Amino acid sequence: MQLYNRSITDSDRFWSEQAKSLLHWSRPFERVCQGNFADGDVAWFTGGTLNAAYNCVDRHLPHRAHQTALIYEGDELGEGYSLTYHQLHARVCRVANALLSMGVRRGDVVTLYMPTSPDLACAMLACARIGATHSVVFAGFSAGALRDRLAASGSRMLLTCDVGKRGGKTLELKKIVDEAVGGTDLVHHVGVFRRDPDAAQQRSEGWEESRDVDMNELLPRMRPYCAYVSMEAEDPLFILYTSGSTGKPKGLVHTTGGYLLQAAMTTKNTFDLKDGDVFGCVADVGWITGHTYCIYGPLLLGATSVLFESTPRYPHHGRYWDLIDRHRITQFYTSPTAIRTLMKFGTDKIKEYKLDSLRVLGSVGEPINPEAWTWYFKNVGHSRCTVVDTWWQTETGGHMMAPMPGMTPLKPGSCTLPVYGVQPALLDPLTGEEIEGDDVEGLLVVKRPWPGMARTIHGDHHRYMDVYFNSYRGYYATGDGARRDENGYYWITGRVDDVVNVAGHRIGTAEVESSLASHDGVSEAAVVGFPDPSKGQGLCCYVTLNMGTPSTPEFIAELKAQVRRDIGPFATPDVIVITPDLPKTRSGKIMRRILRKLAEGEPSALGDTSTLADPSVVERLVATQFWVK
Ligand code: PRX
């Protein structure tokens, strides 16, 4: 508590000490923090230079060259390999040299469309080494979504794998890439890592000699050393796209100094990371959790990090427990959705495993209900591990609220208290005034800059200001609602904007709407979230059809397929309701509040419907009782 208070009252000194103790600076910084939210010009550690790959790899070589840096577990049980820090260093350097040989230079954006694997880790660190900005696109995104992100980031270089494997299924990543970039002049080169060494002969299909580069052939020819570039603290380290409440994905830009510090400090404090720990974050590296807690955080601290490519239920629902025992994982980090899914199987399977290496259990991505928290604590942690519910966002770079093991008393379902340097507040949505005191609820905002915050939206600083800073001047608006209880503990209540959190995947309803509306048969679409016992939320899509379009089950299946194609399988609608009309105000605005209540199965709680242009639209929807099906 004392240190937390100091991190707020004497913030420059606090952060300066943290930055010096956790990171290696090639040139010391001159100022700690400057700028503010209202002007959108926050900068940390200016004057300082550093390199992310040096900090994650090179500086550990004198003591940890032969310690395992990455343990990779592929899709099949036990399939995979490990890399020591020494081996990681050589691989990162080879990939960096390969990128240089293909013309990538400092400041260029390199898109990585790859499954969770050491190849992806090396590609990220290789970009960082030469001062290129990586933009990882989750390998579950469709060709269209990949193309949009490539174009938006201005990336001329793409790295991918021939295939990805998840849950026994093969994802044809190279084919998706061909579909995304074929016939366009978006990229100059596509570097392809081959998973299957025998696949060299098969590469003819879709292979373009002038564009495609076989990384398995190129890398052995590259030198295993590549000089690193000292980057300014505020130089971008990566772009990561996330969904917002309007259709276009936002490319959040994270910088080198501040992001790395947030990653290192929170990994250390929230997970009580110690020498010799084996850190098991089972998120996909394609999302922010994987960036910060599979790659940057653990490697900055010289830990051993597990990269897991499969799913919790493949080949059986004991997969996580097997992973923990086999690799002697000390910190395990997963999502409430995964816990709830595994809870359904009872405890017979989990009892076959020891799970005695574990010390800290993390949860991230969505609110964890107290039942799931307690199940996790008792059955995975054997009532002796700390459960850390970590609240944060792609925008924040690292944890914002989370307990500290052994220090923060826990409450199942609460992300407890802010981490060092973070000062949250709750606002009244109508007045924008801060709500003081405890036992209150409001919009969750942050009052002061923190090092890991995204500095802009790539190519659209106006949007960055509008989304995060302009509605409540002087605050960062998180888009979440929260309650502060009688002890000052925070409980996240969920998004307050048009973003739905499906199984920890953040999906902008506008993106799904525009995919549906682009179908010839569809006139209009409105998408809302509804509670789902295992995924947290599901997607309910209301669709009006053009004249002559049949509302058959086949057509509904076609619409679902369209969304899968446009965005990716994780955004597949759960329910599609065909309706002759959407409930609108007299000025033509869709009343989503009503659609949300109906999707929740609460037709008696629609609230004020007097502003509806045509109340019969709602009456007809209510009469169908679609939510019962
Ligand atoms: O609504 C919050 C929810 O996930 C959103 C951020 O999503 P994304 O940027 O994809 O990052 C996910 C991983 C950090 C937040 O606005 N969220 C995340 N963690 C929690 C959470 N909701 C409740 N409790 C959490 N621990």
Q: Which of 373, 388, 497, 501 to mutate to test the pocket of ligand 1 (most atoms within 8 A of CB)?
A: 501
Residue 134 has pLDDT above 90, yes or no: yes
C-alpha of residue 263 to centroid of ligand 1, in Å = 16
Which atom in ligand 1 lies closest to the alpha carbon of residue 506? 10
Placement of tokens 């850390």 in the chain? 388
pLDDT tens sequence across 342-355:
999 999 999 999 99
- Identify the band that residue 200 occupies on the pLDDT scale cut at 50, 70 and 90: low
Q: How far apart are CA 266 and CA 273, in angstroms?
A: 10
Q: What is the mean pLDDT of the chain?
A: 95
Which atom in ligand 1 lies closest to the alpha carbon of residue 415? 26
Residue 177 has pLDDT above 60, yes or no: yes
The pLDDT score that the predictor gives to residue 272 is 98
Q: Which of 141, 506, 537 to mutate to test the pocket of ligand 1 (most atoms within 8 A of CB)?
A: 506
Between β-strands 331-334 and 360-364, what pairing exists: parallel, antiparallel or unpaired? Answer: parallel
Q: Percent of the chain scored above 90 by pLDDT? A: 93
Give strand pairing partners of 49: 27, 232
User: For 416-436, what is the mean pLDDT?
Assistant: 97
Q: Percent of the chain scored above 70 by pLDDT? A: 99
Nearest CA to ligand 1 atom 18: 365
Residue 245 has pLDDT above 80, yes or no: no
Nearest CA to ligand 1 atom 7: 393
- Contact 113/139 with Cβ under 8 angstroms? yes
pLDDT tens sequence across 552-598:
999 999 999 999 999 999 999 999 999 999 999 888 889 999 999 99
- Contact 624/576 with Cβ under 8 angstroms? no
Burial state string for 324-352 with b = 16 or more CB within 10 A and e = fewer than 16: bbebbbbbbbbbbbbbbbbbeeeeeebee
- Contact 581/617 with Cβ under 8 angstroms? yes
Residue 101 has pLDDT above 80, yes or no: yes
- Identify the band that residue 198 occupies on the pLDDT scale cut at 50, 70 and 90: low
User: For 333-337, what is the mean pLDDT?
Assistant: 97
- Identify the band that residue 202 occupies on the pLDDT scale cut at 50, 70 and 90: low
Q: Which of 391, 489, 509, 511 to mutate to test the pocket of ligand 1 (most atoms within 8 A of CB)?
A: 391
- Contact 590/582 with Cβ under 8 angstroms? yes
> Which residues have any ligand 1 atom within 6 Å of their CB?
242, 288-289, 364-367, 389-394, 415, 478-480, 492, 495, 501, 506
Domains and CATH numbers, the chain: 1-65+270-494 (3.40.50.12780), 86-229 (3.40.50.980), 503-624 (3.30.300.30)
Helix or strand or coil: residue 535?
A: coil
Residue 146 has pLDDT above 60, yes or no: yes
* Structure tokens given for 510: 């506008």
Residue 4 has pLDDT above 90, yes or no: yes
DSSP secondary structure letters along 318-379: THHHHHHHHHT-SEEEE-HHHHHHHHTT-STTGGGS--TT--EEEEESSPPPHHHHHHIIII
The pLDDT score that the predictor gives to residue 244 is 78
C-alpha of residue 91 to centroid of ligand 1, in Å = 33
The pLDDT score that the predictor gives to residue 341 is 94
Query: What's the number of CA atoms in the CB half-sphere (13 Å) around residue 261?
Result: 28
User: For 89-109, what is the mean pLDDT?
Assistant: 98
pLDDT tens sequence across 440-463:
999 999 999 999 999 999 999 999
Nearest CA to ligand 1 atom 10: 506
C-alpha of residue 512 to centroid of ligand 1, in Å = 19
- Identify the band that residue 607 occupies on the pLDDT scale cut at 50, 70 and 90: confident
Nearest CA to ligand 1 atom 21: 366
Residue 93 has pLDDT above 60, yes or no: yes
pLDDT tens sequence across 470-488:
999 999 999 999 999 999 9
Q: How far apart are CA 191 and CA 217, in angstroms?
A: 10
- Contact 289/283 with Cβ under 8 angstroms? yes
C-alpha of residue 141 to centroid of ligand 1, in Å = 19
DSSP secondary structure letters along 170-201: EE-HHHHHHHHHTTS-S-SEEEEE-SSGGGGG
pLDDT tens sequence across 36-81:
999 999 999 999 999 999 999 999 999 999 999 999 999 999 999 9
Q: How far apart are CA 95 and CA 80, in angstroms?
A: 20
User: For 246-262, what is the mean pLDDT?
Assistant: 94
- The CA R_g of the chain, rounded to the nearest whole Å, is 24
Tell me the torsion sign for CA atoms 59, 63, 64, 66: positive
C-alpha of residue 604 to centroid of ligand 1, in Å = 30
The pLDDT score that the predictor gives to residue 430 is 92
pLDDT tens sequence across 349-378:
999 999 999 999 999 999 999 999 999 999
The pLDDT score that the predictor gives to residue 197 is 66
Which residue from 318, 368, 315, 321 is spatially nearest to 493, judged by alpha carbons? 368
User: For 142-150, what is the mean pLDDT?
Assistant: 96
The pLDDT score that the predictor gives to residue 192 is 97
Q: Which of 337, 422, 468, 492 to mutate to test the pocket of ligand 1 (most atoms within 8 A of CB)?
A: 492
